[in-house]
């Protein structure tokens, strides 16, 4: 197992940190976009998500995925 001071380990940690920062920035942008939407636009998005959830539930996909995790 390489120690923490190896160049490969440092590169790994730097890449992981950069990825985490990009994810955080992406989430912040999404939050701002959603906050800027009107209430009716937010309701439309929720309705689409609800319909998608119903479609997944009726297809049995949730049960199949839940069975894999056990």
pLDDT digits (tens, 9 = 90+) for 21-53: 999 999 999 999 999 999 999 999 999 999 999
pTM: 0.55
d(CA 41, CA 46): 9
Distances (CA, A) of 10 to 4, 7, 15, 41: 7, 5, 9, 44
Check residue 7 and give its pLDDT.
82
Radius of gyration of the chain (CA): 20
Domain ranges of the chain: 1-36, 38-70
């Amino acid at each position: 197992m390489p120690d923490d001071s190896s160049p490969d380990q440092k590169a790994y940690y730097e890449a992981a940190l950069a990825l985490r920062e990009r994810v955080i920035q992406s989430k912040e942008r999404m939050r701002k976009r959603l906050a800027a939407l009107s209430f009716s636009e937010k309701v439309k998005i929720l309705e689409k998500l609800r319909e998608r959830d119903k479609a997944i539930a009726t297809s049995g996909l949730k049960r199949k995925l839940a069975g894999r995790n056990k």
